[in-house]
Chain A
Amino acid sequence: MTITFWTASTSAVATTFLASLVEAVEAFTILLAVGTVRGWRPSLLGAASGIAVLALLVVVLGPLFYLVPLQLFQLIVGILLLLFGMRWLRKAIMRAAGVIAFHDENQTLAAETAGLRWVQHNEAHLDWFAGLTAFKAVLLEGIEIVFIVIAVGVGQGLLLPAAIGAVAACAIVGTIGLAVHRPLARVPENTLKFAVGVLLSAFGLFWVGEGLGIAWPGEDFAILALALMFLSAGLAFIRFAVYIRNSRLG
């Protein structure tokens, strides 16, 4: 086991753990809304169905990734990771600068609960609707987790550490969420999103380069250097966006 392997593994675990934490908190809020309005049975059944579909996707699609030549795989996944990571980074910068509103789990819970209560008065088969809501939440947030785990893990043989990071995050959110029975609104969602955006952009850029045949100096250590660069730029862009916003407001 080389030091570069440990560096890459640690980055992969940190990335999938933090990203999954964000997604799991969002999914849990919706499961909580379903559980509060209609009981835990449809909520847990919907969640279990969502997890089953995700597992099926991984089992069916997973082996196909090994059929794609590594360099092409790295290029495609690198492009997708870069788009995904920079999208998160941009949103986190805009939120930190006060340009767009922060994501509020309490607000999401209130909106989801109100929506389900409205349906309760108008729909005879609410259990189905509630289960479907839980299913959709787990599937949509879970697809992002699966994508990040595969993208970060497969290309460098780090699928296991990447998956461990994701499973650990989901287990922590599930355990704490079920214990407190409240949305995990105190999780610093935007800070996590910023950190994940930095890490995914670094992984993405690294792999786009590898896919194009660029041999990065320092091999896997280049991921850390790229992450530091995105971090510094991201922090500078927050100040930049605050400045623009303040000048516009006079």
Chain B
Amino acid sequence: MKTASFLLRTALELFIDDEFLAAGVLAVIVGAAVLTKIGMAAVFVGGVLIGGCLCVLALSVLKGSSLK
């Protein structure tokens, strides 16, 4: 049990350091998937992905810099 939880925690830590960053990136991807589903132009969805990820990164850096 202890080993399993260690492995799970280690696996999660590979991808998640700042929860806000991870949640934000996932939200952007879900948003882009919804836009694709409703038939928005690929260029627009691509722009949402790029812009969304950069905004999330900027906010995460802002949050981290303000708190530390």
The residues of A with any CB-CB pair to B shorter than 8 Å are 79-80, 82-84, 86-87, 89-91, 93-94, 97, 99-100, 140, 143-144, 147, 201, 205, 208-209, 212-216, 226, 229-230, 233, 237, 240-241, 244-245, 248
Contacts and interface: CB of A to CB of B under 8 A. Distances in A.
Given A212-B33, A214-B36, A241-B61, A87 B53 contact: no
Contacts of B45: 209, 212, 214
Interface in B14-68: 14-18, 21-22, 25-26, 29, 32-33, 36, 42, 45-46, 49-50, 53-54, 56-58, 60-62, 64-66, 68
Given A79-B29, A212-B32, A212-B36, A201 B68 contact: no
Given A144-B14, A147-B14, A201-B53, A83 B65 contact: no
Contacts of B58: 233, 237, 240
B42 A233 contact: no
12 contacts: A80-B15, A82-B25, A86-B25, A87-B15, A90-B17, A90-B18, A205-B49, A212-B36, A229-B50, A230-B54, A237-B58, A241-B64
A89 B58 CA distance: 11
B61 A205 contact: no
Contacts of B29: 79, 82, 208
Contacts of A91: 17
If over half of B's interface residues share one DSSP class (helix, strand or loop), that class is named, otherwise mixed; here it is helix
If over half of A's interface residues share one DSSP class (helix, strand or loop), that class is named, otherwise mixed; here it is helix
A205 B18 CA distance: 19
Nearest to B53: A205
B57 A233 contact: yes
B65 A87 contact: no
A90 B15 CA distance: 12
A213 B41 CA distance: 11
Given A90-B18, A244-B66, A208 B61 contact: no
Contacts of A226: 50
Q: Most chain-A CB neighbours within 10 Å: which of B26, B50, B53? A: B53
Given A143-B14, A214-B46, A86 B62 contact: no
Given A79-B29, A90-B61, A205 B50 contact: yes
Contact of A87 (B21, B33, B36): B21
A85 to B, nearest CB: 10
A214 B42 contact: yes
Given A86-B25, A100-B64, A233-B54, 8 more contacts: A90-B61, A201-B53, A214-B45, A214-B46, A216-B46, A240-B61, A241-B65, A244-B65
